C-alpha cells in the first residue's frame, strides 16, 4: 500500500475512533459535516475555459480527469457548434459535455439524465459553474413511446453508467439483473417536443447504453427537421446489424454519416 494511502486509511480510522467517543447525535453531526467538507472540487482547464466538477466518489473523479481524453471526438464535435445553437445531451451522466458546451455563454443546453445519483451531481455541477442560465437539467428518460416505466440500474455508483430504461438490457443487447429498479417517466423525442415546446435541438447527443434504436425510432419527426444540424450516437460497433439498422433510419431521415469510430470507451 502506498504511503499516502496508508496515511489516509490511518486518518479515517482515527476519525472513526474519535467519533465513537462522542455521544450518538454529536458523532452523527460531526461525521456528516466531515463528509460534506471533504468532497473534492476538481477543476479541469480546457481551451474554452475551466470547468469545476463536484466529485463525490471515485467514478466522478475519473470522469472529470478524462474529460478531454476519453471521447476526444465528442469534444471536437462540440467545438463545431455555432453561437446561439441548442444542444440536447441525452444520457448526460454528471454533465461532462453539457458543461463543456455551456462554456459558450450563448449556448442553450438541455441535459437529460434519469439516474437519480447522477442527476444530483449534474445539478451540483451546473450550480458550482454558475451555468443555470444556459443549462436546463431534466431527470427523465427517452424511449420510442411516452409513459411511466422502470429505469433498470446495473449499479448505483455515483457517476455510474450501463443502465437501461423500460427493459433490462445492456449495451450489447443482453439482459442483466438490476441492482435497483427506479420508477421513471419516459418520452419519445417527438412527444416531448410536441407537449412541451422546448428549445428545438440543433445538435443531439445520445449515449444511453442499449436502447439507442428506440430513441431514434421515437424521433422520426425530429430527425428530418432542417433545424437539426447534427446527431452523435454512441453505438457498439460489434453489434453490426443493430448499428446498421440505426444508421439506416438516420440516413433515411436525410442526415449523412460524417464520422464513424470503432474506438471503445469503456465506463
pLDDT of residue 209: 83
CATH fold of the domain at 39-252: Rossmann fold (3.40.50)
Cα separation of 225 and 213, whole Å? 19
Q: Model confidence over 30-49: pLDDT tens digits?
A: 666 666 666 889 999 999 99
For residue 185, pLDDT beyond 90: yes
What is the SS3 assignment for 60?
Answer: helix
Question: Between 149 and 24, whose confidence is greater?
Answer: 149
User: Percent of the chain beyond pLDDT 90?
Assistant: 69
* E strand intervals along the chain: 41-46, 49-54, 86-90, 108-112, 135-138, 141-142, 147-153, 164-165, 180-187, 203-206, 230-233
pTM here is 0.87
Measured at the CA of 234, the angle between CA 233 and CA 239, to 5 degrees, comes to 115
pLDDT of residue 44: 96
Using CB atoms within 10 A of its CB, is residue 157 exposed (0-12), middle (13-18) or buried (19+)?
A: middle
Give the residue carrying C-alpha cell 450516437: 233
Mean pLDDT across the stretch 203-208?
Answer: 96
Question: Is 76 within 8 Å of 220 (Cβ atoms)?
Answer: no
pLDDT band of 240, cuts 50, 70, 90: confident
Q: Model confidence over 37-88: pLDDT tens digits?
A: 668 899 999 999 999 999 998 999 999 999 999 999 999 999 999 999 999 9
pLDDT of residue 34: 60
- All structural domains of the chain with their residue ranges: 39-252
pLDDT of residue 21: 67
Q: Model confidence over 215-229: pLDDT tens digits?
A: 999 999 999 999 999
Over the chain, what is the mean pLDDT?
Answer: 88
Amino acid at each position: 500500500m502506498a504511503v499516502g494511502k496508508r496515511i489516509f486509511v490511518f486518518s479515517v480510522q482515527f476519525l472513526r475512533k474519535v467519533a465513537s467517543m462522542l455521544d450518538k447525535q454529536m458523532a452523527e453531526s460531526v461525521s456528516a459535516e466531515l463528509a460534506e467538507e471533504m468532497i473534492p472540487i476538481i477543476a479541469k482547464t480546457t481551451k474554452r475555459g475551466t470547468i469545476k466538477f463536484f466529485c463525490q466518489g471515485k467514478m466522478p473523479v475519473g470522469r472529470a480527469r478524462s474529460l478531454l481524453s476519453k471521447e476526444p471526438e465528442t469534444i471536437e464535435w462540440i467545438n463545431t457548434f455555432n453561437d446561439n445553437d441548442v444542444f440536447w445531451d441525452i444520457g448526460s451522466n454528471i454533465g461532462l459535455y453539457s458543461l463543456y458546451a455551456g462554456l459558450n455563454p450563448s449556448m442553450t443546453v438541455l441535459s437529460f439524465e434519469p439516474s437519480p445519483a447522477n442527476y444530483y451531481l449534474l445539478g451540483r455541477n451546473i450550480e458550482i459553474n454558475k451555468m443555470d442560465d444556459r443549462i436546463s437539467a431534466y431527470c427523465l428518460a427517452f424511449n420510442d413511446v411516452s409513459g411511466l416505466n422502470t429505469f433498470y440500474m446495473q449499479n448505483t455508483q455515483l457517476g455510474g453508467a450501463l443502465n437501461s430504461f423500460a427493459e433490462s438490457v445492456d449495451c450489447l443487447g443482453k439482459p442483466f439483473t438490476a441492482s435497483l429498479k427506479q420508477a421513471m417517466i419516459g418520452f419519445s423525442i417527438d412527444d416531448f417536443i410536441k407537449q412541451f415546446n422546448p428549445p428545438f435541438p440543433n445538435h443531439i447527443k445520445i449515449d444511453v447504453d442499449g436502447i439507442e434504436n428506440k430513441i431514434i425510432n421515437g424521433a422520426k419527426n425530429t430527425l428530418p427537421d432542417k433545424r437539426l444540424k447534427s446527431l452523435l450516437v454512441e453505438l457498439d460497433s460489434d453489434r453490426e446489424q443493430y448499428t446498421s439498422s440505426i444508421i439506416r433510419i438516420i440516413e433515411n431521415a436525410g442526415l449523412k454519416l460524417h464520422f464513424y469510430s470503432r474506438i471503445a470507451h469503456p465506463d
